[in-house]
Amino acid sequence: MGRNPRFDVLFEPVRIGPVTAPNRFYQVPHASGMTNALPQVRARFRGVKAEGGWGVVCTGAVSIHPSSDDSPLPFASLWDDKDIRAHALMTDAVHEHGALAGIELWHGGACTLNRTSRLAPLSPSGMPWLSTHLGFMGNLRPRAMDAADIRDLLNWQAAGARRAMQAGFDIVYVYAGMGYLPYEFLLPEYNHRTDAYGGSIENRVRLVRELLEVTRDAVGNRCAVALRISLEELRGKSGVDAPSEAHEVVQLLAEIPDLWDVKMDSSPTDCAPSRFSPEGSHERIVNFVKQLTKKPVVGVGRFTSPDVMVSQVKRGILDLIGGARPSIADPFLPRKINEGREHEIRECIGCNICISSWHDGVPVRCTQNPTAGEEWRRGWHPERFEAAKSGSSILIVGGGPAGLECAVTLARRGYRVTIADAAKEFGGRLRFETRLPGLATWGRVVDWRLGQLRERPNVNLYPGSELNADDILASGHSHVVIATGARWTKMLFSTLEFPVGELEVPGVYTPDDLAAGIVPSGPVVVFDFDNYYMGGAVAEQLAKQTAGVTYVTTAGNASAWTFMTNELPLVHRALVKAGVSIHTLQRVTAFDGAAVTLADVYSGAEKRLACGSLVIVGMRKPRHDLYRALVARDADLEAAGIASITRIGDSLAPGAIVHAVHSGHRYAREFDTVVDSIDAELPYTRDFPV
């Protein structure tokens, strides 16, 4: 099957200064959690994207000096010549497939805390970034840069550019976005200087201009020079002779960089979750840039639809289609479009689990693509699978995320697979969760996998089929996988921060009860110590169904862990808009049918809230009754020819959807394989610095 002609424009080459991108698919710089300490992991992760058809593949942020130290958050460095070889592994991997390699040289300024280097952070005027989240708080404030510091910064950028060229990069960035040092010079809130670098917009843009110039001098005509810039705040500031300061900045620098990489200012808007923002949400901010420059423009917007991509190009919004999250969810997205297989694209769901991996300080993970970050250390390729080594047939009981991923991967390997679920529709937990506010896009987890399974002759699908132990013993399969998920409990929360004692009284519910169709009578209290999306989403949904919804949590914020996925401020806004009252740092200790008793997490001080129904979103337990019933019948299993019974996903250990998908994928990848190595006892190959 060939490419659909209406997508031809996406495969046109684009000249970027002295280099040419082979197509318009551009993997913009994004964090991967893979620092110089994991050079092989990083190289394979980026190289697979080039193999998948991305014409340009970039690094994440690469520090140019120890005064830009983001530890313990993962960041790469190019401080001296010893760093060059680690990056060369990545450029070699990208070039092997005909793509260009880009590097995002970075100085964090006042937004870095320099915990390891212990150097005073730098800023235009000594103004600190005062985060509201503990992981970004520090006590060392930045110092104001003098003329010598500015000269040093320009020298560090130039030295980084020369090393980048030695490492084999084709595009070298100046990064003036997301609150980092060059961006701080652009904003009057940070920049109070009275010299040639402060005051007017012409002065505030001077440092960015000089950074571009020294980068150009360093790389000559061997590399393109790109400017990555945040425009959201600048677009909101009125210009003197232009609609906004964003327009003025672009006019002043229009033809200096070889490429404009345009973005938003903060993670919740730049990497907006699908729960709150649609595909292409950046357009309203960046849509003017191409009108003011002749140089190519790249931008992002969680683009997964090729028709939307074509529209961006033909309407003059972008020249290159930027992808970060979509390139993680499906590294082969461009190749699938090119080969007329766009229906096979594994679309990003915008859950932002990938972003949480940066906050966690670990290699990137993805709900849709369990091979992300595992390409080198486990040898998992997103499109290639080891062929079946036996004629085994596998029965999977449970059609949620873990079961579906397990079935797809086993089927792609060539095994005979049967998957059964008691419900009339596959999807497991997602049958309910995708009906919650903003979460419909998460249905792609189910839709893509069912689409794959329905096309394969070696797969049998049996929805609406509740199986007991006798049914399984009589099924004729040689291996059984239990993927029956988990259940929410009615446990409360103790002073030791443990779940304790189920509250079995009338009027107490869990998300499972809501999924079954129960609508609690008001006023409703939602008690959340799960701290991910569920509690907030349930509260928002209930506010549409009944009056008087109150959200209570033991944490300091509603849905506190969603800070990790860029959702936290948006969750709070949504709850306020829905009229939900929020009580933080409180635990429920009692419920009598008319009121709940709350106790302050730290002081123990109590108060009562009117409450007709209590919904507890706390601890989950595996549904393992079927598994236990089977493993207790050893003789029957042997007689039935069943060689193994294995649990995966939430039925093994409850977690987020990403954990369930990874669990199902790992079972299927490792099924029937023999690891023959000195490190066979280790779950994956360890990487080391070069």
Q: Which residues belong to the active site?
A: 180
DSSP for 379-447, written as a single string: ---SS--PPP-S--EEEEE--SHHHHHHHHHHHHHT-EEEEE-SSSSS-TTHHHHTTSTT-GGGGHHHH
Evaluated on CA atoms 373, 374, 377, 381, the torsion sign reads negative
CA angle 369, 60, 270 (to 5 degrees): 75
**Matching residue, tokens 């096979």:** 344
CB 357 within 8 A of CB 17: no
The b-or-e profile of 368-382 (16+ CB within 10 A means b, else e) is bbbbbbbbbbbebeb
Strand partners for 502:
491
| Six-digit token string for 82 | 């010893």
> 3-state DSSP call for residue 345?
coil
CB 571 within 8 A of CB 536: yes
CB 87 within 8 A of CB 46: no
Distances (CA, A) of 347 to 9, 263, 299, 644: 21, 21, 18, 33
d(CA 632, CA 626): 10
Report DSSP state, residue 562. G
User: Who contacts 299 (Cβ-Cβ below 8 Å, separation ≥6)?
Assistant: 261, 262, 263, 282, 286, 289, 312, 317, 318, 322
d(CA 199, CA 125): 12
> 3-state DSSP call for residue 607?
strand
**Residue type at 315 in one-letter notation:** R
Q: Of the candidates 511, 510, 642, 570, which has an alpha carbon nearest to the alpha carbon of residue 276?
A: 570
d(CA 302, CA 300): 6
Cis peptide before 66 (omega within 30 of 0): no
d(CA 624, CA 486): 8
The Cβ-side half-sphere exposure at 402, using a 13 Å CA radius, reads 28
